[in-house]
Amino acid sequence: MKFKETISFIQNQFNSKEFIPLHQPIFVGNEKKYLMETIDTNFVSSVGAFVDRFEEMMTLITKTKKSVAVVNGTSGIQVALRLVGVNKGDEVITQALTFVATVNAIAYNGASPIFLDVDMDTMGLSPKAVMEFLEVFGELREDGCYNKKTNKKISACLPMHTFGFPVHMDELKAICDVWNIPIVEDAAESLGSEYKNKPTGSIGELGVFSFNGNKIVTSGGGGAIVTNNVQLGLKGKYLTTTAKVPHANEFFHDELGYNFRMPNLNASLACAQLENLNSFLSNKRELALEYKSFFDASCIQFRTETPDTKANYWLMCVELENLKERDVFLAETNASHVMTRPIWQLMYRLPMYTHCQRDEQLNAQFLEERIVNIPSSVRR
Ligand SMILES: *Cc1c(COP(=O)(O)O)cnc(C)c1O
């Protein structure tokens, strides 16, 4: 076996010869206590003290002014896009190297994605690619930026912080400001990551996090929208709670809202998990350092955070030399019960998105063939 040493290194790190998953949740804090409290008080559904507490914790952690608990990350992105003005028939700039939820959230608004390349170092949306695209296709009009090719409005830019590695936000923001395009951050994977000392998700108009079971902390299922724009935050709360006009006893809804509320039961789990976020972050950073020194001595490249950023090391990954090497690595590790997984297929390969406008995707295609996730769970 070619990767025997890597396999036994990972088995040693997790002190196990059994199946080692990519990422599993760990419950070592107040999870049971808060869940029982929720049941004992009968507030298990979409109103309750833990929903409020969760939203407060999220504003503190992300250093933002307003946070909205939602049922999952995907619906959070859907609503965040609507909040910045994405309408039916519009277009949204994003990356093709992402999880499908990023792009589905665009499509749920009746808008189409424009797929632009990622940077080689961050694996997230490339400011240079966005600039080059807009120089050719962008046209500034009174009400925003239009795509000269399709005559459609480009009403948002949706970068994704891949595996918790922050996108080059300053450069991206500078370009989007010139072209009057608001940024929504898909920060689903990057809770705890920082870009120049700012939490990811707090830099664009809005940011969205996921609390799905595979993320760094989980609420079973859930999401959060965060923003420094209080008006947008309040509008987000209202849209995700059926657009009900506040009133003591009357039901009046003045636009098409959603039931995207996070149940209190899930929020209680999220609160307990968030209390441990810092210890999870340092635990994962230790593992990343172990991996780094091991892989530095081999022919495999371990991916680390870029200068001026802090990654949460949610899912750690290596870069193999080529597709063939990658496939051998995947086969050997998984046969030894060490779970590894290739990065996503590029979104324009999916039947729903083949027709979408895109650039050359040289970096995305390079990474698609080489990046593999390796076990990254918090170790007890
Ligand atoms: C997990 C994830 C989401 C969506 O989160 P859900 O809570 O599962 O809906 C969105 N974007 C990315 C990049 C993700 O990894």
Residue 379 inside a domain? The answer is: no
Q: Whole-angstrom Cα distance, residue 343 to residue 339?
A: 13
**Per residue, what are the HEC states of 164-231?**
HCCCCHHHHHHHHHHCCCCEEEECCCCCCCEECCEECCCCCCEEEEECCCCCCCCCCCCEEEEECCHH
How confident is the model over 47-89, as pLDDT tens digits? 889 999 999 999 999 999 999 999 999 999 999 999 999 999 9
φ/ψ region of 313 (left if φ > 0, alpha if ψ in -120 to 50, else beta) reads: left
pLDDT band of residue 299 (cuts 50, 70, 90) is confident
Q: Judge contact between 299 and 325, C-beta under 8 A.
A: no
Phi, psi of 157 (to 5 degrees): -125, 130
Task: Check whether residue 316 and residue 344 sit in a common domain.
Answer: yes
Choose the final residue of a domain: 259, 274, 289.
Answer: 274
pLDDT band at 183 (very low <50, low <70, confident <90, very high): very high
Residue 306 CA, ligand 1 centroid: distance in Å: 23
The residue range of the domain holding 230 is 31-274
Q: Are 327 and 342 in contact (CB under 8 A)?
A: no
The mean per-residue pLDDT over the stretch 290-295 comes to 97
Cα of 331 from ligand 1 centre, angstroms: 26
Give yes or no: residues 288 and 369 share one domain: yes
The answer to whether residue 380 is domain-embedded is no
**What are phi and psi for residue 186, nearest 5 degrees?**
-85, 90
Instruction: Order the strands of the 66-70 sheet from edge to edge.
Output: 66-70, 223-227, 206-210, 184-186
Overall number of domains in the chain = 2
CATH of the domain at 164: 3.40.640.10
Burial of 299 (0-12, 13-18, 19+ CB in 10 A): exposed
Terminal-to-terminal C-alpha distance of the chain: 29
User: Which atom of ligand 1 lies at the shortest distance from residue 223's CA?
Assistant: 7
Does residue 188 form part of some domain? yes
pTM of the model: 0.97
In this model, does residue 184 exceed pLDDT 90?
A: yes
Query: Do residues 361 and 304 share a domain?
Result: yes
CATH number for the domain spanning 14: value is: 3.90.1150.10
pLDDT number for residue 247: 86
Residue 206 shares a structural domain with residue 285: no
Pocket of ligand 1 (CB under 6 A): 72-74, 98-99, 101-102, 160, 186, 188-189, 210, 212, 223
Tell me the pLDDT tens digit for each residue of 210-228.
999 999 999 999 999 999 9
Q: Which residue has the tokens 């992105």?
A: 77
Ligand 1 centre to CA of 208 (Å) is: 9
**Cα distance between residue 318 and residue 306, in whole Å:** 15
CA angle 367, 372, 373 (to 5 degrees): 130
Per-residue confidence (pLDDT) for residue 182, from 0 to 100: 98
Between the CA of 207 and the centroid of ligand 1 the distance, in Å, is: 12
pLDDT of residue 45: 80
pLDDT of residue 295: 97
Q: 20 and 59, same structural domain?
A: no
Please tell me whether residues 115 and 18 are part of one structural domain.
no
- Mark whether 221 and 365 lie in a shared domain: no
Residue 47 is predicted with a pLDDT of 80
Residue of 212, 214, 312, 317 to test ligand 1 pocket, by largest number of atoms within 8 Å of CB:
212
Q: What is the rounded distance in angstroms from the CA atom of residue 159 to the CA atom of residue 165?
A: 12
CA–centroid distance, 225 to ligand 1, in Å, is: 12
Query: Are 281 and 227 found together in one domain?
Result: no
pLDDT at position 257 is 96
